[in-house]
Amino acid sequence: MDTTTPRALSPYRVFTEGEWARLRADAPMTLSKDEVERLQSLNDPVSLDQVESIYLPLSRLLSFYVEAMQGLHAATERFLGDDNIRIPFVIGIAGSVAVGKSTTARVLQALLARWPSSPRVALVTTDGFLLPNAVLEAEGLMERKGFPESYDLPALLGFLTDVKSGRPRVSAPVYSHLVYDVVPGETVTIEEPDILIVEGLNVLQTRSPPKDAKAIPFVSDFFDFSIYIDADEAVIHRWYIERFMRLKTTRFRDPRSYFHGFAEVSEEEALRIAEGLWRRINLVNLRDNILPTRPRADLILAKGENHAIESVSLRKL
């Protein structure tokens, strides 16, 4: 009789918060409470305790991965007899809207940059590679914003190709959440980072091969490590609505905001609008495009109702 349990067959090792926290070993905590508060996103609180128990051990693991990858690159360069080119270690962070990807990315960036080797850590979001609103409107894709087809994929792949080729200066477009659009002519320049964090909804997305059978890479092909931020669908739904209602009384009040008109509607009307946006756009994207990529991640951070990470699943090597 086969007594193998499903858990034993899982490609992941699953840790509780306490089990994961012990893997911190003697790594020093390098962020203060004030710094952690500045790194968190709207409606995505993260405690100093969780930074110590979850993110600090994760940064320790990643530092080992970076060191190992740098050694592999150096060995390859010696074999080829080439000059040693700086090739960044690329980390992808995926997950639904409102699940806390940005907070995770910023906290990891800050922790990794303070390791004794003082690595240069850059952060880029894929929002900058969204097609401009004018293009989305012309192609009937405004209600598909954030879906795979709403991105300038060739530009994103070109950016990652340049990064992984060791190009010393690589630029990425900038997105404004205030105006809800790519900022024309504005870019951020990445200069020889040791580590690059790429954060976005669909960075682990795959797609059907082209009809002409030409090899086109996936975004995730450029990642050395990937993280998926997970939570129950109902919980993410609540967080999205709560964030929308907070934005109604904050950022939406700015006359420059794309959603400025929502600031003046009633609470009841605002809730109706938020529920519609969730149901028509964000829930569909989560179910059809984002959640199916979760099994492709190297590490899954599972959150509970209060935004705290309750378990960590690390892919077995």
Question: Domain count of the chain?
Answer: 1
Residue 273 lies in domain: 11-315
Q: Which residue has the tokens 């959603």?
A: 259
pTM over 0.85? The answer is yes
Angle at 35 between CA 29 and CA 40, to 5 degrees: 110
Indicate whether 2 belongs to any domain. Answer: no
Which pLDDT does position 73 carry in this prediction?
87
Which pLDDT does position 212 carry in this prediction?
59
Indicate whether 6 belongs to any domain. Answer: no
The CATH number covering residue 54 comes to: 3.40.50.300
Euclidean distance between CA atoms 125 and 245, whole angstroms: 24
Can you read off the two tokens belonging to residue 120?
Answer: 């240069």
How far from the centroid of its chain's Cα atoms is residue 286's Cα? 14
Which pLDDT does position 4 carry in this prediction?
45
Q: Which mean pLDDT values do the consecutive 10-residue runs of the chain (317 residues) have?
A: 55 97 94 94 90 97 94 88 84 97 97 92 98 98 96 96 94 97 96 96 80 74 97 98 96 95 95 97 97 97 96 94
**Contacts for 81 with CB less than 8 Å, ≥ 6 apart:** none
Euclidean distance between CA atoms 55 and 40, whole angstroms: 13
Indicate whether 3 belongs to any domain. Answer: no
Which pLDDT does position 16 carry in this prediction?
97
Indicate whether 1 belongs to any domain. Answer: no
Which pLDDT does position 209 carry in this prediction?
57
Indicate whether 164 belongs to any domain. Answer: yes
How far from the centroid of its chain's Cα atoms is residue 246's Cα? 22
Indicate whether 201 belongs to any domain. Answer: yes
**Contacts for 306 with CB less than 8 Å, ≥ 6 apart:** none
Indicate whether 273 belongs to any domain. Answer: yes
